[in-house]
Amino acid sequence: MKNIVILISGGGSNMAAIVKAAQRDGWADKLGARVAAVISNRVDAKGLIFAREHGIATEVLDHRAFASREDFDTALAVLINRFDQPGEPVLVVLAGFMRILTQGFVSRYAGRLVNIHPSLLPAFTGLHTHQRAIDAGCQFAGVTVHQVTVELDHGEILAQAVVPVLPGDTADALAARVLTQEHVIYPRVIADLLQKK
């Protein structure tokens, strides 16, 4: 069985979309894959409740308990590696995980570490993407699923979805429209990756 480990920091709506897709589309039977664990760096992440309700193992690893990012990432890798199967390396999915990962961590999971970012990369890396798109006068915004590399939001683009920026849009209104597309393309990309593995 190919194990998927999802990392979250908050509500975990993309994680929930992936879990629902895995169940709805029969990933266990068709792809030999399952969401094996959800790990958060925040004990109050609401997504942990959803994961537990769906029978998925959960772990909390508070980054504030570690002296350095390297120490946190080392401990995080230990948790993730509990779900590594011989010959079936775990797929690590970032779904609103609000931590910048170290070079050592990214290298360890190279080729099997994916992220979703709420802009049409390479435009608007980092934070506050929706307001920045509005301020720049963009007619379109969107979402990108990409491989994770050491350079923030610069890995190989795996899929994108485009939404219009409407007259009078607020960052919240645009974010809500983008989020509906996130929930569509992220599970699709993960299913495609699993088929190739």
- Cα 36 to Cα 58, 109, 145, 193: the distances in Å are 9, 17, 21, 16
pLDDT of residue 62: 97
Name the domain count of the chain.
Answer: 1
**How many C-beta neighbours within 10 Å does residue 158 have?**
19
Write down the mean pLDDT value for the chain.
96
What are the residues whose beta carbons fall under 8 Å from the beta carbon of 45, sequence distance 6 or more?
8, 9, 10, 11, 12, 60
Q: What is the pLDDT of residues 102-119, one digit of tens each?
A: 999 999 999 999 999 999
CATH number at residue 103: 3.40.50.170
Which structure tokens are listed for 80?
């993730």
| Alpha carbons 115 and 9: distance in angstroms, whole number | 13
Residues designated catalytic: 117
Q: What is the pLDDT of residues 6-29, one digit of tens each?
A: 999 999 999 999 999 999 999 999
Q: What is the pLDDT of residues 163-196, one digit of tens each?
A: 999 999 999 999 999 999 999 999 999 999 999 8
| Alpha carbons 120 and 59: distance in angstroms, whole number | 31
How confident is residue 152, by pLDDT bands cut at 50, 70 and 90? confident
pTM, 2 dp = 0.96
DSSP alpha helix (H) spans, the chain: 13-24, 27-30, 47-53, 69-81, 103-108, 129-135, 171-196
Letter for the amino acid at 158?
Answer: L
How many residues are present in the chain? 197
Adjacency order of strands within the sheet including 140-147: 57-60, 33-40, 2-8, 91-94, 113-117, 140-147, 157-164
Range of the domain at 70: 2-196
